[in-house]
Chain A
Amino acid sequence: MQDIVSLETVYKIYQMGDVQVTALNGISLTIKKGEFVAVMGASGSGKSTLMNILGCLDRPSKGKYYLEGIDVSRFSKNELADIRNKKLGFVFQSFNLLSRTTVLENIELPLIYSKKLSQIAGERINQIMATLGLKEFQKHYPNQLSGGQQQRVAIARAIINNPTLLLADEPTGNLDSVTSTEVMHVLHDLNHNMGITIVLVTHENDIARYARRVVVLRDGKVLSDTPSQSPATPAPQTICERIT
């Protein structure tokens, strides 16, 4: 299988006044196409920094980051923006939808910046909205939706541009357990049926069980990297089959 992500001894060092803080201390990590990886660790272990670097929101201080074989660790801000737009999808804990902007327009947002808001894209938006059960809400505003619905909008936005890597940063952190399960099922389906590679940050073991591989960080290093214990296998669903 092709390597989607390949980190080679990546360091991230912040200068906080006179003190140097090492957030990532020489991490090496490879993620193959179609994997579903959970990243765990205590706060301050470097999870967020790792996500920022994987998500091309930040650049490593040292080391190399290959995304689909391309070294993006020295890309300019604009090049990174293009990578985020075309190859990455984000799902955040706090949804991060544009308020006072309709569901449909939130989902379209990445297409505006990739200048792909065409007829074909319109069909794709409709398909994705249909599969995620958002069609009836397309004219609604985020604050008119429940947390689970909002997170599904965020997922729809994340996958609209067919990303090679979906990054979910505590996607269930603001949700109750029932809704959490619902959202995890959606992610599971995206991975299982569509083959989208997912990296999930969580500190809940229940949520990490949906992944097939668990990476635990401590002090900016990989502490353990193991296949998931008793992976949660949700009842077979086909909701994502129609997404192409």
Chain B
Amino acid sequence: MPSLFKIALRAIMRNKMRSSLTILGIVIGVGAVIAMVSIGQGAKIMVEKQLESLGTNVLIIIPISTTHTATRGTTGTITLTAEDAFAIEKECSAVSYVSPGVRTTTQVVFGNLNWTTSVSGVGSDYHIIRNWPMESGRFINQQDINIMAKVCILGQTVVTNLFGTLDPIDKWIRVNNIPFRIIGVLSAKGESPTGQDQDDVVLMPYTTVQRKIMGVTYIGVTLASSVSAEARFEAIEQINSLLRQRHRLRPNEENDFTVISQVEFASTIMETSHTMTVLLGSIASVSLIVGGIGIMNIMLVSTTERTREIGIRMAVGAREKDILFQFLTEATVLSSIGGIVGVILGIVLSRLISYYGGWPSLLSPLSIAVAFLFSNMVGIFFGYYPARKASRLNPIEALRYE
């Protein structure tokens, strides 16, 4: 009924200061819920996207025992060799590709520009495992690995910093004063779940990095891929038993390596971000409840102040229901205004946080609708008691009220 709405709006406008203070709790509550949920959603989407970019079937083989490094005091125990990697590829049926890896951080030079970056030695299937398409040129092949070719592939960040708009293909860069020919450029990959820039990388054949740059024979963090996402647990089992056998570990000995799945790694991060969203969301909803109590408080004051008005309305024929709806409408309109302002605040807040905090945020229409509806329900719930109290007034006493 439009006239009820009009009456409610007028009553609210009559005391602007009080009304705005009353809705403040709802505004903050709705705003906080929306901002928190959108930031949480944004974080989730970001992690999901990265997860996709990492590949759901990627396995990481680390040549260190994760359980005993501290007690042994050796963080760099060399346990993994290229032969281990070949064996995994050959003998583990659930594994499709393996890329032996060695990694160092060093300076690369082009002309008079230099850039400190991560130089990664990889196998010929690395880009398949990582699901990382080339932007131009070709990837490292088995021939490059066999002859320890002085070739390299650049990530986008390195290209930007050393070449700008220049095409780097077939140009030469120097690492440790050795010239390397650029044979390809990777497409942009973005940040890893841990926030590292994955494009800040130079890839070379792992044999080249071993012999020409680092002068070592072992391999480090090695990537593998299972035949499917579902087969990753089976693949981990197979790698575990094969490496134990190859490293001649007795049953009572701990693994001197670790195999983890990229999915599990990332979903831990996702779970954390989900927990944070739920936690922040519930804290924010508490302020909605507090806001509701604020509305109830003011509505109680308001119905007492307007006892005479209620008496007059009853005298001219307002039924209990009419009075009930009048005050219920007022409380609901009040909380809805709070809801609308809160939605705007929430949107602005999540934009600001993602802009200044570097957090991604995703405004889901659902969370906005839910927060707004919830603010309405708060209005109805906390407005009901004062409205019912008003509707039960005795008209004679109400008319006599000073």
Contacts and interface: CB of A to CB of B under 8 A. Distances in A.
- Do A and B pair up? The answer is yes
Interface of A: 52, 55, 57-58, 77-78, 81-82, 84-86, 90, 92, 96-98, 100-101, 109-110, 112-114, 117, 157, 161
B317 A57 contact: no
B315 interface: yes
B340 interface: no
B249 interface: no
A84 B318 CA distance: 9
24 contacts: A55-B315, A57-B315, A57-B396, A58-B396, A77-B320, A78-B319, A78-B320, A82-B317, A84-B317, A85-B318, A86-B317, A90-B316, A96-B311, A96-B312, A96-B315, A96-B399, A98-B312, A100-B14, A109-B313, A110-B317, A113-B318, A113-B322, A117-B3, A157-B316
Given A81-B317, A113-B322, A157-B316, A96 B396 contact: no
Nearest to B392: A77
Interface residues of B, number: 20
A98 B307 CA distance: 11
Nearest to A100: B14
Contacts of A97: 312
Contact of A113 (B14, B309, B319, B395): B319
Given A57-B399, A82-B319, A109-B312, 19 more contacts: A57-B315, A57-B395, A58-B396, A77-B319, A81-B314, A81-B317, A81-B318, A82-B317, A84-B314, A85-B316, A90-B315, A96-B308, A96-B311, A96-B399, A100-B10, A100-B14, A109-B313, A113-B313, A113-B322
Interface string B316-343: 1111111000000000000000000000
A100 to B, nearest CB: 6
Nearest to A109: B316
Contacts of A98: 309, 312
Contacts of B319: 77-78, 81-82, 113
Contacts of B396: 52, 57-58
Interface of B: 3, 10, 14, 308-309, 311-322, 395-396, 399
Describe B's contact surface by its main secondary structure.
Answer: helix
Nearest to A55: B315
B101 to A, nearest CB: 78
Nearest to B322: A113
Contacts of A109: 312-313, 316
B317 A85 contact: yes
Contacts of B315: 55, 57, 84, 90, 96
A35 to B, nearest CB: 22
Given A96-B308, A96-B399, A98-B309, A114 B317 contact: yes
A85 B315 CA distance: 8
A77 B395 CA distance: 10
B76 to A, nearest CB: 82
Nearest to B318: A113
Contact of B316 (A78, A84, A101): A84
Contacts of A86: 317
Contact of A112 (B3, B309, B314): B3
Contacts of A112: 3
Contacts of A100: 10, 14
A199 to B, nearest CB: 15
A93 to B, nearest CB: 11
B272 to A, nearest CB: 55
A113 B395 CA distance: 15
Contacts of B399: 57, 92, 96
B366 to A, nearest CB: 38
Contacts of B322: 113
A81 B319 CA distance: 6
B326 to A, nearest CB: 10
A81 B315 CA distance: 7
A117 to B, nearest CB: 7
Contacts of B316: 84-85, 90, 109-110, 113, 157
